Amino acid sequence: MKIGFIGLGIMGMPMAANLVQAGHDLVTCDRQPKTIDGARAVAAPMDAARDRDVVISMLPDTPDVNDVLFGSGAAAGAMHAGTVYIDMSTVSPVATMDFARRLSVQGVAMLDAPVSGGDLGARKGTLSIMVGGSKEAFDHCLPLFQAMGSNIVYAGESGSGQKMKLVNQAVGALNLLAAVEGLRLASASGLDLETVLSAVSAGAAGSWMWSNLGSKIVAGDFSAGFMIRLQQKDLRLAREFFEQLGLDAPGTALTYELFTQALEKGLGLDGNQALYRLWE
Ligand code: NAD
């Protein structure tokens, strides 16, 4: 397919490379000069959206998607009727439904398709992808999702992918806090941390966060995979989503507060496992 891909960051770069690898014709755009072998780079989002069957974005936050589509990027205006637009960023479900409604007026179907699995999953093409929007557009784009991920879930109508992703983020952040707290206790009590890692991962308290980020913490590796500032953004979105539904969310309120403190401490560009350093 002819694809425009906007946002070549930690995630977007390997995801776009996997689409090239699968034989698709890619035009890419990032506000920093970045290129991918086998793809043509353009400077403006509107040029990545023109004459494409599918346009994909992988951007940090809701205002970035709005700016690329309807603001200075002007990508929406360059899409023709019949184009499918897929936003794979993690952004507000409410804003997503509004973007989809505005694009539908010009005959563009939008899928919201946020991902989970980190930079490693993006590189290996094993992401989990949660997709909202029309089933027809989903079926049409399934080969693209299969080039980037291995667990593709159709979540339901527009916004459902983002809603599912926020559930994922609320659960993931609480698991990470649990791992951080456990490792602080283990460290302060003089236990051998490698032994603690393998003992806990084999039992009922094991988790993806414990196994993957716990081992990075023990190794002193606080580089990003998933940046503190993006984790804090997702918890803000999750908190807003709980509030919109009138639900109490003490765990999400706590993790949001702690990640906000981590941001204020200057850890925003570190990986989310650097939550551990909040207490250093
Ligand atoms: P990133 O900051 O590394 O990449 C974002 C890219 O978008 C950057 O290269 C930036 O230059 C570009 N960009 C921003 N505004 C732009 C504009 N107006 N025009 C063109 N390019 C623009 O972020 P990331 O880690 O790749 O994450 C992207 C999205 O995926 C976020 O919503 C994040 O929450 C989500 N996500 C990230 C991970 C992860 O592990 N990193 C995992 C799952 C989901």
Q: Does any ligand 1 atom lie closer than 6 A to the CB of residue 271?
A: no
pLDDT value for 239: 97
Share above pLDDT 90 across residues of the chain, in percent, rounded to a whole number: 99
219 plus 168 within the same structural domain? yes
Distance 194 CA to ligand 1 centre (A): 33
Same domain, 57 and 139: yes
Q: Tell me the best of 10, 86, 112, 216 to mutate to test the pocket of ligand 1, counting ligand atoms within 8 Å of each CB and taking the most.
A: 10
Same domain, 148 and 20: yes
Domain check: are 43 and 137 in the same one?
Answer: yes
Number of domains in the chain: 2
Distance between CA atoms of 127 and 148, rounded to whole angstroms? 6
Q: Is the CB of 132 under 6 A from ligand 1?
A: no
At residue 125 the predicted structure's pLDDT band, cuts being 50, 70 and 90, is: very high
Q: Which of 137, 157, 177 is the last residue of a domain?
A: 157
What pLDDT was estimated at residue 16?
98
Asked if residue 112 has its Cβ within 6 Å of ligand 1, the reply is no
**CA 92 / ligand 1 centre spacing (Å):** 15
**Last residue of some domain: 157, 176, 194?**
157
90 and 225 inside one domain: no
What pTM was computed for the model?
0.95
Whole-angstrom Cα Rg for the chain: 19
Q: Which domain holds residue 167?
A: 163-279
Spatial neighbors of 182 by CB under 8 A, at least 6 apart, are 196, 200, 205, 210, 214
Residue identified by tokens 């035009």 is 27
- Residue 165 known to be catalytic: yes
115 alpha carbon, distance to own chain's centre: 5
Query: Is there a single domain that holds both residue 36 and residue 110?
Result: yes
If asked whether residues 125 and 172 sit together in one domain, one would say no
Q: Domain holding 252: CATH number?
A: 1.10.1040.10
pLDDT band for position 179 (cuts 50, 70, 90): very high
CA 15/CA 120 separation, integer angstroms: 11
Residue 86: φ, ψ to 5° = -120, 115
- Listed residue (142, 96, 90) closest to 114, CA to CA: 90
**Please, which pLDDT band fits residue 127 given cuts at 50, 70 and 90?**
very high
Residues 82 and 112 in one domain: yes
| The predicted structure's pLDDT at residue 170 | 98
Give the tens place of pLDDT for each residue, 104-124.
999 999 999 999 998 999 999
Gap from CA of 239 to ligand 1 centroid (Å): 21
Best residue among 36, 58, 116 to mutate for probing ligand 1, ranked by most atoms within 8 Å of CB: 58
Which CATH number covers residue 32?
3.40.50.720
Q: Compute the average pLDDT of residues 251-267.
A: 98
C-alpha of residue 60 to centroid of ligand 1, in Å: 4
**CB 45 less than 6 A from any atom of ligand 1:** yes
Instruction: Determine the Cα–Cα distance for residues 174 and 157; give it in Å rounded to an integer.
Output: 27
The amino acid occupying position 151 is: N
Question: pLDDT for 44-94, tens place per residue?
Answer: 999 999 999 999 999 999 999 999 999 999 999 999 999 999 999 999 999
Contacts (Cβ under 8 Å, ≥6 apart) of 170: 235, 238, 242, 249, 251, 252, 255
Which of 6, 30, 72 to mutate for ligand 1's pocket (most ligand atoms within 8 Å of CB)?
30
- The rounded distance, in Å, linking the Cα atoms of 49 and 77 is 9
Q: Do residues 90 and 227 both lie within one domain? A: no
State whether 104 and 176 are in the same domain: no
Per the listing, tokens 């890419």 go with 28
Place of tokens 């023109």: 50
Q: Chain centroid to CA 79: how far? A: 24
**182-205 tens-digit pLDDT:** 999 999 999 999 999 999 999 999
Q: What pLDDT shows up at residue 31?
A: 96
Q: Which residue, 265, 47, 273, 237, is CA-closest to 161?
A: 237
Q: Which two tokens stand for residue 40?
A: 């043509």
Same domain, 71 and 93: yes
Instruction: Verify that 86 and 118 share a domain, yes or no.
Output: yes
- Does any ligand 1 atom lie closer than 6 A to the CB of residue 71? no
**Cα–Cα distance measured from residue 152 to residue 243, given in angstroms and rounded to the nearest whole number:** 28
Neighbours of 21 (CB within 10 A): 13
Domain boundary among 97, 130, 157: 157
User: Quick one: which atom of ligand 1 is closest to the CA of 12?
Assistant: 26
Helices marked H in the chain: 12-21, 45-49, 62-70, 75-78, 93-104, 118-124, 135-148, 160-188, 193-201, 208, 215-219, 228-244, 250-264
CA of 82 to the centre of ligand 1 (A): 26
Please report, to the nearest 10 degrees, the dihedral formed by the alpha carbons of residues 18, 23, 26, 30 taken in order. 10
